Structure 1
Amino acid sequence: MTEHTWTSVPLTDEYVRGAARLERTARGVAPHRLPERAVSQAADPQLSMVEAQPSGVRVALRTAATAVQVVGFRSRVTYTGVPPRPDGVVDLVVDEEAVAHATTSGGSTTVVDMATGSTTSDEGEDFTLTFDGLAPGAKDVELWLPHNEIVEVVDVRADAPVAPVPDARPRWVHHGSSISHGSNAARPTGVWPVVAARRAGVDLTNLGLGGSALLDPFLARTIRDTPADVISVKMGINLVNADLMRMRAFRAAMHGFLDTIRDGHPTTPLLVVSPIFCAIHETTPGPGAFDLEALAEGRVAFRATGDPADVAGGRLTLTTVRAEIARIVEERRADDPNLHHLDGLVLYGEEDAALRPLTDALHPDAETHRIMGERFADEVFVRGPFADVVRGRATTPAARG
């Protein structure tokens, strides 16, 4: 086995990209994707869990190292009767090319009994992942952290000196639901906004938050206060499957959400994306629930439990939400020409569902994440509303240096 003399990478904002804050813990550093005040205002265990899962967060360094290593401690939540999600993955990207990946292990696992709400916990060890055999010479290295489990980074090491990577790429801030977070994606670089960002050559901050795209004011303020050259918000599915509000409240909340973003980014290109196709909620309101028959077969699947007859009284479905989002954007564009709309069915529509059904009736599989990311990049960054911002900006590693 090769012996290495390791240099630790400083776990600071210069090296850790895509996080809103870095919490210093007894073990190391825990990346968070929301400010602490936002999390405290929500007082929601679901949001506290998903914002600490570092989707889109990566450690970036310039080095001549031939080996790099990540030491971390993961925290996972599983549910009785529900098959656990796969182990988290760390992706290694060298000079923009994904070259290797490794799975996490050990750590802390909390098991929630869905019938009683009680929990049990098991504490394991740190994981250590070593990526060896890198080509000699200076290069840009990114270590993309798992998108689907909480990770405390204990240490990141290289067997040569390290430096931060200068980055002049356009900054893209994206907010969405569990689909944007990466649910059912196989790897952190396979999450559809990450696919889109890497294809378009932009610097992503991913505020995709599982179960939590709910038009919360603190989330709008987070976007308002985050530096951005382009912004997108993908809204709708969580509002329907949480059965959170009726059309009257949705209309006002959508306007207020956009108003708050515009307080900090008055002319930044801002794209509102409506929901992708999801058969269970197209014309049937929420709330959503686990499909108990599927669970009995060892599968995770979801179903809609609302009554379509309630739509006339303002209850939300994906069909009504799409129509209202399109109407709101068109209305606002009279005074805001930098506001844009993308129908989510362009990313994944009914024909796509016939070819590649949502695996659990709610979330796309890994291949569909890739397709959605490529479509978004082409529709929005190449020939759409973000093209002028990206065109002419430095996107290659050499240009960024």
Structure 2
Amino acid sequence: MFVSDLVSRDPDRATTRHLRVRDQTLKIVTNSPEADGLVSETFCPPGMLGVSETGPEAEPDLTVVDVAQDPSEVTGLLRRAAETARRGEYELTRHYRQPRFDGEGHTVFVLRDQNSDEVAALVRTEGRVTLLRPRSGLGDRWLTRIVRDVATRIAKAAGSLVLHSSAFVYEDGAYLVIGDSGAGKSTTAIALARLLPSAGWMGNDRMHLDRGEAGYRVTACPLPLAINKGSLDVMGVTDFGSWSVRAGLPPAGSDWDRFHGEDKLKLSSQEVGRYLGVRVVPDAPLAGVVLPRVDRGAGYSLGPASSAHTAEVITRNCFSLDDNLYGEDWLDVPVRRRAAPPSLDAFLEHLAKLPVFRCSVGSAADVATLAADFEDRVRR
């Protein structure tokens, strides 16, 4: 397959849909039902990362075409690109560089997941990016990754403040759960979402905040909920062996059964709702912050966080405008407007008006106590 053939027409028997990302439109074309289904499952419910389904009323700002083919087609295209175009490198994800080939009116990028040798390609032309990749479970995920990357860049360009945070919703307000890796953000957020009345879970690992006249609005980034067995133990969840999850259970020999194991079970937003019994909320106004510690050896505690501790934790876990979340902007995402995010000082000043708690839990009984105490303190 040649670049000219790949970018001049859409694949046979393809499905087409349009996604609204804030104020911009993406046209999505794929010949893989599995990839199309994964996009639907990831950006669910509508509004995750500002992405929702829309109609083809307007000309798309960007078209993303996903072509599943035999691996030989991928290697052939990359071989011809290497022979005819100027070779360089680009940063696919942070600190992970791959080859690129700059040709006349197009650029071919090599796509390779950090945990696999399987190779895919992406061709960037004006107003269009075209994926050529093998028919495989890994290949099916590239379309979702591209849509998520585009949506993240549009959000950042619009001035979102991005925090390393999980979040849950209580009484229609979003509570950020912020902490360093391993602090227990995901465990605390999902546990409180399961136990508090009329609560919900927003998402895992990354939240986007936009400032308005009434305060901040939190929007979830639909990264999978990654938890190990220790987190499930703390929540009192024991029936995971019967779950049928897209990513599968961690294999034998992994360390996911350790309390702080690196191997984790990954659940999509739909699977969180299905297996953990919580509703998923894509966005909500900011209502407060929880700074957690999940440690079996620690005693239970819940109390107000000092302004100094709050500033220290949030500063460490704030992705600034210059932070290269997804590597360089190799997709050259078109954006309609650019705005600087609110300053960290302005955000911390706003938090001084909201409840900010520190907590420590180490068992299912502690989590139940935390839910009751949190509800009591918020309602005072």
TM range (shorter): under 0.3
- The TM-score normalised by the length of structure 2 is 0.24
